[in-house]
A and B are shown apart, each in its own frame.
Chain A
Amino acid sequence: MSDVQTLSAYNKVLALLTLVALVGAVVLIVYRLVKGPESARDLLGSGAIWLAWAVAAVATAGSLIYSEYFHFVPCRLCWFQRIFMYPMSLVLLVGAIRKEMVVKYYALPLSLLGLATSIYHYLVQVFPSLEGSGCDPTNPCSARYVEEFGFISIPFMAGVGFTLITVLLLFYVKAKEE
């Protein structure tokens, strides 16, 4: 496969994972609304923190592969999202190993700020005039380097990741408190 084909395959795999994550987040939210908070906590228990860590780890690895293997230069807004996502891949791992419920209070601000940045970045891609009237040829935030299914771009992927992490953190209760 050529480099472009490898990138195309990689984009598609991440896009499918994004759809899976999006469906997962929606299912969890609906479950919580229908069954109530107690049932929601019982559903995942302490596993929620491991799942949240897995999402953060995949997102971190995914973005590093884009920049280090495919040589995508992160734009300004991509860097902000990295700042919010990368620490979670470590913080959540430590919290999961130590089964510390308090970890969600460290991670939630990161995931919420990351989600807000992803939403803004996605809006910039839809309405490029939000960030000026021209494109910087090196790394414009408004350009869609990835566009799968007509709507899945890199900030969309990140936004879904932040959403799922947020939902999972809200589901998280320490195993011994269940």
Chain B
Amino acid sequence: MNKNLMWIIGGVVGLALIVGLAWAIAGEEPPDETAGFGTPTVTGTNLPAVENPNAGDPAVGMTAPTVVGTDWDGNEVAIEPDGRPKIVVFLAHWCPHCQAEVPVINNWLANGGLPEGVDMYAATIFTNARRPNFPPQTWLQRENWEVPTVMDNAENAIALGFGVMSTPTYIVLDGENKNLGRAAGEIGVGGLNALAAIAASAVEG
């Protein structure tokens, strides 16, 4: 092999390493690794985890935990038995399916998909500073997300409380926080309409 060529290749690789290190060390602001986590209180009995709730949710009829926490601006968000049925979506910032589903939910809400008397909430779960699209609020604000959203803590208390095994996951709750059904994965407008119909059936009066 031509020795000059070897030197050129070695030089380019070495230069790339040096430039990369210098660029990385000099150009990065230290990220706030606590951003994106909340300090929610989760009370009540955890719903059992289910790998694929679309195949049948064994926890239908069970009372879901009550969650009281905050969004990224410090506003209180409570998922509690307040007499109003609700749909809750659990999102992970690094999950491409969640990233695809958020604009779908936004359009569905803008087009009046949520029935009268039903509320919608979200929870950011499985937050991880070492995964992409961190922190979740930067992503959700970029998507003009206006759904009241509670941030999970680093111990995944909310995810564990609702038995979430994958993202996105939805749960429909009646006014007493009883689980009317969970769904996992991208469900699109058709799935959202199906969940809305279940929630609407629980609207009293």
- A interface residues, Cβ below 8 angstroms from B: 1-5, 7-13, 15-17, 19-20, 24, 43-48, 50-51, 70, 125, 128-129, 132-137, 140, 142-147
CA A153 to CA B45, docked complex, whole Å: 40
CA A20 to CA B175, docked complex, whole Å: 59
Q: Mark B122-145, 1 if CB is under 8 A from A, else 0.
A: 000110011110000000000000
Counting chain B residues whose Cβ lies within 8 A of the other chain, the interface size class is 35 or more
| Nearest CB in chain A: distance from B169 CB, A | 8
Select from chain A the residue with minimum beta-carbon distance to B17: A13
| Nearest CB in chain B: distance from A20 CB, A | 5
Say yes or no for B12: interface residue by CB 8 A criterion: yes
CA A15 to CA B95, docked complex, whole Å: 22
- B interface residues, Cβ below 8 angstroms from A: 1-2, 5-6, 9, 12-13, 16-17, 19-21, 23-25, 28, 30-31, 33, 92, 94-98, 100, 125-126, 129-132, 159, 165-169, 184-187
* Interfacial chain A residues near B97, Cβ < 8 Å: 128, 133-135, 142
Select from chain B the residue with minimum beta-carbon distance to A175: B1
Pick 11 A–B contacts, CB within 8 A, sort by A.
A1-B25, A4-B31, A4-B129, A13-B24, A20-B16, A44-B1, A125-B96, A128-B97, A134-B167, A135-B166, A137-B92
* Interfacial chain B residues near A133, Cβ < 8 Å: 97, 184-187
Interface contact A143-B94, CB-CB below 8 Å: yes
Select from chain B the residue with minimum beta-carbon distance to A11: B24
* Interfacial chain B residues near A2, Cβ < 8 Å: 30-31, 33
* Interfacial chain B residues near A128, Cβ < 8 Å: 96-97, 100
Interface contact A47-B1, CB-CB below 8 Å: yes
Within the complex, which residue of B17, B20, B92 is in contact with A135, where a contact is CB–CB below 8 Å?
B92
* Interfacial chain B residues near A143, Cβ < 8 Å: 94-96, 131-132
* Interfacial chain A residues near B1, Cβ < 8 Å: 43-48, 50
Interface contact A24-B9, CB-CB below 8 Å: yes
CA A46 to CA B2, docked complex, whole Å: 10
* Interfacial chain A residues near B28, Cβ < 8 Å: 5, 8-9
Interface contact B9-A51, CB-CB below 8 Å: yes
* Interfacial chain A residues near B20, Cβ < 8 Å: 9, 12-13, 15-17
Interface contact B16-A16, CB-CB below 8 Å: yes
* Interfacial chain B residues near A136, Cβ < 8 Å: 165-166
Select from chain B the residue with minimum beta-carbon distance to A153: B132
Add 18 more A-B contacts to A13-B21, A137-B92 (CB < 8 A). Answer: A9-B20, A9-B21, A12-B23, A12-B24, A13-B17, A16-B16, A20-B12, A132-B185, A133-B185, A133-B187, A134-B167, A135-B97, A136-B165, A137-B167, A140-B95, A142-B96, A143-B95, A145-B131
Given that A43-B5, A125-B96 are known contacts, is A137 also in contact with B130, CB under 8 Å in the complex? no
* Interfacial chain B residues near A9, Cβ < 8 Å: 20-21, 24-25, 28
Interface contact B167-A135, CB-CB below 8 Å: yes
